Amino acid sequence: MTIFDLTGRVAVVTGGNGGIGLGIAQALASSGCNVSIWGRNAEKNQAAASSMAAGPGKIDTRICDVTNPASVNEAMKATLDRFGRVDGCFANAGIGGGGRRSFIERSEEEWRTMFSTNLDGVFHAFQSAAKHMTERAQNGDAFGRLVATSSLASLFGTARNEHYAATKAAINALCRALAVELARYGITANAILPGWIKSDMTAGLMANDKFVANVMPRIPMRRFGEPSDFGGIAVYLMSKASSYHTADCFVIDGGYTAF
């Protein structure tokens, strides 16, 4: 599976709390892209790298706290020292709702942790990558891909995870703005919005009348899809056991949006 035509190029895949966008990294490596995996947890970084060692792309790992700009810049420098360039940045950092308390019950610390992890990682990683890409473009090599994972919550909200939905909506807005700002450098900015698929985790939801009546109409496809539904437009497939981060049905590219 080719992701934004990065065959033979170099991409960074970031993870926030040690979690890595493994599906993204695997798809990139299998397409022949060289991949640098950034995350806080060295063991998870290495496990992700080992799982794709058979691919044609070269794999590198970096300890990186994506919420810390100094750590991100250090990881970028080390990656450039190793590969000489970075052509794509896939920001997969983030945490979910983390509980069922309502908006008014959330503590200040919970809010700040959510915003820092979900937003700072994307901002810092994109800024560091964009600096390198624009400098390269000014020297006649205009190419770059910035991609962030978003959430269906950014479209229709989510009860008791309002702060999570707000951060994901902000990421969508950032990608739209960057798509306009960076187009002259040949750099595209994209938000990948995962869709729902049928799986063991989601099967029970269809038996819930309230879910069918209140939530299903808000899902763009109006139904759970099969993995094959996304074959023509999928950027990555995470796991058939997952209910959310399985395939994208929404892409923002150069200011253009489409389902």
Sort strands 144-149 and 34-39 into parallel, antiparallel or unpaired. Answer: unpaired
| Catalytic, out of 164, 185, 236, 256 | 164
d(CA 64, CA 17): 10
Distances (CA, A) of 149 to 15, 64, 203, 246: 11, 18, 24, 11
State the DSSP H helix or E strand holding residue 47, giving kind and residue range, or none if neither.
helix 42-51
What's the half-sphere exposure (Cβ side, CA atoms, 13 Å) at 142?
9
- Written as six digits, the tokens of 196 are 């729902």
Length reported for the chain: 259
Q: Which residues contact 23 (CB under 8 A, 6 or more apart)?
A: 236, 237, 238, 239, 245
Locus of tokens 């599976």: 1
- Specify whether 256 is catalytic: no
- Per DSSP (E only), the strands in the chain are 10-14, 34-39, 59-63, 88-91, 144-149, 187-195, 247-253, 256-258
- Per DSSP (E only), the strands in 9-122 are 10-14, 34-39, 59-63, 88-91
Distances (CA, A) of 203 to 116, 206, 236: 33, 6, 22
Q: Which residues are part of the catalytic machinery? A: 164
